[in-house]
Chain A
């Protein structure tokens, strides 16, 4: 399966040229770009590992694409996402987030059901890869 988190997951994987155009869009809006990676793609896994801090002071798409290249070299087997932060008052959060690298094989999630009282069911979503220790998943 293909996990569809992020704002461009339904399109064919973006080329570096396309990613770079989105980076430029973020920079044009004054947002700080960062990369995060993980081998735990659970939909509620908020805190992916940070590839350094958000690049508040880098205003050049090329330099940012260079960081992505580095991140891919180290964590190419993981999911990597681009995040763009906006520090404007009353927003102060992400403006954009999309996956820029994904593992070749995405085994997906198991849904378990535990029958509870009445007709209630307790659901648990578990990534098949999460059975393995971190770092040995993909």
Chain B
């Protein structure tokens, strides 16, 4: 790209409004001298123009089509403070090692957005531009939300700290399991799995994303049997337990009905799926806040648009939207499990969910500083093909504030579900204890597990069964920047 193009090409005065078609970069959507205001929303897009399309024009088009522009000049712009409302692309960089792709930084005035509405934000930013013909592909990589905008959202109903206080669990990751098989269990059989897993030592069990109300198990039946299991396990252990009752349904009215029933039965947590939509998620967050309920979000469907690097929306943006929308839990990857997850990219997601301020960290895919302005923290959930043989890696990579969910790794234990749960809990506690004692768990992890297995048969058996299982595949969603060693002076 020729750097001589980095100057404003905006047409001024009445020429700007002459009827006809004009390049986006001439209409005020390319402003390389623009300095974003602290109140601006900033979006970073990965733009891949069609062959022969100028990257600056393509980026200006993204700014235009995600704010005020249409394909032709309209005189009605002049009835408005149109320069304020135009999104401004202010920087375009080639993507390292990806010829033909560019990072476009675009600033949006705060007045373009309705306060407290992810639906409105996303309708603006991703509503129109992703099908734009001059682009081969487009990806929303990251966003910076100004504090003024962050403060228009309630954020998580509960948050990590209050969840820990409410459940009286401090100092270690939470342990969970998704009930398996995903489909087909009757309510009575389903509750059996919940009881065994909780009694054995897990903190939570979980409905899967597609467990709603099917012919084999209606939702009320599941809730009733699950709460019998939760209460029984609580009395058997003297410890607070929970099960994520999925309230996802076809209509908002049905979801409220299910959530109310979960509350009536004394559940401390309900869950929803990402596919219910941003508005429904925000509604459920408000409901959770009114009803002292922890709200778990399963990111069902996200892989359709987050996984490929060239096109879609990065999960780091979804994570930011969901922290604003106000969920308490969100699945955010495991690194070592069966699902997509580059370690550094995943670390970036975890930082977004858990930190009070995010610093720029290009090698984690974080392009902007983000001040969360005391918005509560979201508890990330690591789920999908993880097992206790990886406990040292999980604790090292994901740290303490996470739910580790071992579904198959609990229910598939050769001695039964409760034994599977006990094995997980012992492995976790042994690893936390060792780390706190200053041991190098990445080096000594397997030895620490074997040692703990000497006094715990279920752990020993689990290690014999799964100790060596790994899922080593190359990730598709990886950072574009690697840390470079530079001489220090």
Known A-B contacts A1-B238, A3-B239, A90-B374; A96 and B433 likewise in contact (beta carbons under 8 Å) = no
With beta carbons under 8 angstroms apart, the residue of A43, A96, A120 that contacts B170 is A96
Bits for B163-181, please: 1 = Cβ < 8 Å to A, else 0: 0110011111000000000
Bin chain A's interface residue count.
35 or more
A5, B239: Cβ atoms closer than 8 Å: yes
- Min Cβ gap B357→A in Å is 10
Query: B377 near A: Cβ within 8 Å?
Result: yes
Q: A21 to B433: give the CA distance in the assembly, Å.
A: 9
Known: A11-B426, A43-B168, A94-B170. A123 touches B266 (CB 8 A): yes
Query: Which residue from A4, A5, A90, A93 sits with its C-beta under 8 Å from B165?
Result: A93
Whole-angstrom distance between the alpha carbons of A96 and B172 in the complex?
Answer: 8
Tell me if A43 and B201 are in contact (CB < 8 A): no
Which residues of chain A have C-beta atoms less than 8 A from B168's C-beta?
5, 43, 46, 97
Q: How long is the Cα–Cα vector from A94 to B220 in the complex, in angstroms?
A: 36
Complex: A109 Cα to B425 Cα, angstroms: 21
| B-side contacts of A14, CB under 8 Å | 433
Total A-B Cβ pairs within 8 A: 111
Closest A residue by C-beta to B230: A123
Q: Is the CB of B164 within 8 A of A94?
A: yes
**Known contacts being A5-B168, A21-B437, A22-B436, is A10 close to B422, with CB within 8 Å?**
yes
- Knowing A3-B238, A43-B238, A95-B171, the reply to whether A8 touches B164 (Cβ < 8 A) is no
**Residue B336, interface by CB 8 Å:** no
Residue A98 at the chain B interface, CB threshold 8 Å: yes
A125 partner, pick from B231, B429, B437, beta carbons under 8 A: B231
Instruction: Give the contacts of B217-247 with A (CB-CB under 8 A).
Output: 220, 224, 227-228, 231-232, 234-240
A51-74: CB near B (< 8 Å → 1, else 0) gives: 000000000000000000000000
- The residue in chain B whose Cβ has the minimal distance to the Cβ of A26 is B436
Rounded to whole angstroms, the CA-CA distance of A117 and B240 in the bound complex is: 25
**A111 within 8 Å of B (CB atoms):** yes
Task: Give the residue of B228, B234, B430 whose beta carbon is less than 8 angstroms from that of A43.
Answer: B234
Which chain B residue lies CB-closest to A122? B266
Chain B residues lying within 8 Å of A1, measured Cβ to Cβ, are: 236-238
Using Cβ atoms and an 8 Å threshold, which residues of chain A touch B227?
A: 121, 123
Given A22-B433, A120-B265, does the pair A44, B238 have CB atoms closer than 8 Å?
no
Compute how far the CA of A49 lies from the CA of B172 in the bound complex, rounded to whole angstroms. Answer: 23
Given contacts A4-B239, A43-B234, contact A10 B425 (CB under 8 A): yes
The secondary structure that dominates the A interface is loop
Most buried by A among B422, B426, B436, B438: B436
The answer to whether B235 and A111 touch across the interface, beta carbons within 8 angstroms, is yes
Per-position 1/0 for B435-476, Cβ under 8 A of A: 011100000000000001001000000000000000000000
Partner of A97, one of B171, B238, B430: B171
- Give the shortest distance, in Å, between B174 (CB) and chain A (any CB): 11
CB distance from A73 to the nearest CB of B (A): 25
User: Which of A7, A93, A109 has a CB less than 8 Å from the CB of B235?
Assistant: A109
Within 8 A of A (CB), among B411-438: 422, 425-426, 429-430, 432-433, 436-438
B241: nearest chain-A partner, CB-CB: A43
Write out, one digit per residue, whether chain A residues 79-92 have a CB within 8 A of any chain B CB (1) or not (0). 00001100001111
CA distance in complex: A119, B266 (Å): 14
Q: Does B53 contact A (CB under 8 A)?
A: no
Per the 8 Å Cβ criterion, residues 37-55 of A in contact with B are 41-44, 46
On whether A11 and B164 interact (CB within 8 A), knowing A4-B237, A4-B238, A44-B240, the answer reads no
Q: Are A94 and B165 neighbours in the complex by a CB distance under 8 Å?
A: yes
Task: Please give me the residue from chain A that is nearest to B452 by CB atom.
Answer: A11
Contact of B51 with A by CB under 8 A: no
Distance in angstroms from A101 CB to nearest chain B CB is: 15
Query: Are B231 and A7 in touch, CB under 8 angstroms?
Result: no
CA of A84 to CA of B436, assembled, Å: 13
Choose from B161, B234, B237 the contact partner of A91 (Cβ within 8 Å). B161
Task: Decide if B172 touches A7 in the complex (CB within 8 Å).
Answer: yes
Nearest CB of chain B from residue A94's CB, rounded to whole Å: 4
Contacts of A108 in B (CB 8 A): 235-236, 238
Residues of A within 8 A of B429 (CB): 7-11
Q: How far is the CA of A100 from the CA of B473 in the complex (A)?
A: 43
Q: Which chain B residues (148-166) contact chain A, with CB distance < 8 Å?
A: 161, 164-165
Q: Could you tell me which residues of chain B, from 121 to 135, have a CB within 8 Å of some CB in chain A?
A: none
Q: How far is the CA of A91 from the CA of B160 in the complex (A)?
A: 9
Q: Nearest chain-B residue to A116 (Cβ)?
A: B264
* Chain A residues within 8 Å of B228, by CB: 121
A120 to B232: give the CA distance in the assembly, Å: 15
Indicate whether A12 reaches chain B with its CB closer than 8 angstroms.
Answer: yes
Residues of chain B within 8 A of A3, CB atoms compared: 237-239
Listed by A's residue number, 11 A-B pairs whose Cβ atoms lie within 8 Å are A4-B239, A11-B429, A11-B430, A11-B433, A25-B437, A84-B171, A94-B170, A95-B170, A109-B238, A119-B224, A120-B224
Closest 5 CB pairs of A and B: A3-B238, A96-B171, A7-B171, A111-B235, A123-B231
Known: A5-B239, A90-B356, A111-B234. 17 other contacts (CB 8 A): A3-B237, A7-B170, A7-B172, A8-B433, A10-B429, A11-B426, A43-B168, A89-B356, A93-B161, A93-B165, A97-B171, A98-B171, A108-B235, A108-B238, A109-B235, A121-B227, A125-B235
